[in-house]
Structure 1
Amino acid sequence: MNLSQSNRKHMVEATLAFLNENAAKWQSIAKIGEVVNKLNDVNLAIDAAAGEQLEAKVYVGAIKVALKRTICEKADIVNDIVEVFAIMNGDKKLAQTMADSASDLFKLKNSDMLRRVKQIIDVAIQNQTPLVDEYGLTAEQITGLQADYDHFLEINGQPREYQIKSSVATLSLEELFTEASNLLANQLDNLLKIFKRRDPTFYNGYIKARMVVDY
């Protein structure tokens, strides 16, 4: 990559990092998640096109670990609520099943973690009405956990963790940067305006991350 492309790449990664760190603020808006996933794919394709497959693999590995941690933290919050619900209804077996902490879940192998989280999601959905009406759970907590669970399934267990979706795999480096610019300028920038007045601190942080810094 030339210097200009490198600076643009840093901006894309800074933007993705900021959005990943603040996922709780936008994860209930499916369209934002859709565009963020596309931008992640393009970012990885840029790595591959630049001959940096190793770095791309490491990058996806880091994203995967961070996503697993996020899933475990969200699952812990949900299963704590379900555990109290079970105790209050005299269901000792369910209460014991929902007793894992975030660290307990994170220590599990990915396959076991996914199995446990799926169990938490299923129980939460089955009992959604009383959990929401009486115990403080929100529908967004369930859908947010489900979305992260689904995303982890997509990237888990692939033989090449930096594998790029076919829609962008054959594009040239400059074409990929153009695609990234289109996703940002024509989609994410508009979608994030939802937070311009609702959460100006978050919105301004996004705008700052979007700035290309010349090194």
Structure 2
Amino acid sequence: MSADSDRKTTRIHVLSAVVGVAAAAAVLTACSGADDTTSSTTSPSVATVSLPPFTAPSVQSWPGRSATYPTPPPIPPTLPNGVAANRADPTSVALAAARIWFGWDTVTDRSPYDAAVRSTPLMTQRCAQRITATPPIGSPDADWTSLARVHARAQTTVAIGSEERPADTASFAVRVVTVTQTFTADRAVPDRHPVAVVTMTRDSAGWSVTDDGQHGCGVVTR
């Protein structure tokens, strides 16, 4: 398939995802005050939707050590070194969250879940607890295994994508983020270019990453 076709396919997938996010915007805006900290705006009362836990990676064999988490990890008190976010700016929060989420280190991390946990200080309490309370069982998939075998570490660069998204409100924002993962490893590993949708709500503490209303919590890859 040509590069143009890949880009068109990616754009179609992202647009479909963002349309779904837009449809969920009203529900999330209304529920944000009940699920997290009190919102700065008053929203009509609606029924709360029960969301499933964080989806664990598929289980595969992984040489070296087990990826099983004996106990759920705590929410880190701070962001990783070298990463900062302006909680008054949803774009800043989205970029920082995506940068951390895709900042994999197969030398020290047991799976991509570790990077997800590192991003939880930027999330609503509900979303952060969903992720930390449901660690994956077993070992990561074959993709992570192949990276771990060459001790790959990802350096991430992020930017706001050009795809359409819902308009911001006083307490709701969505950002489409393009990510480039550049790896240092024992052998050459091609760059990767995931695209993610980051949904956020705002309360008295500022903007925080939340669920997307479609059972995705955190930085949702499309």
TM-score (norm: length of structure 1): 0.23
Structure of greater relative contact order (alpha carbons < 8 Å, 6+ residues apart): 1
More helix by share: 1
More strand by share: 2
TM-score (norm: length of structure 2): 0.22
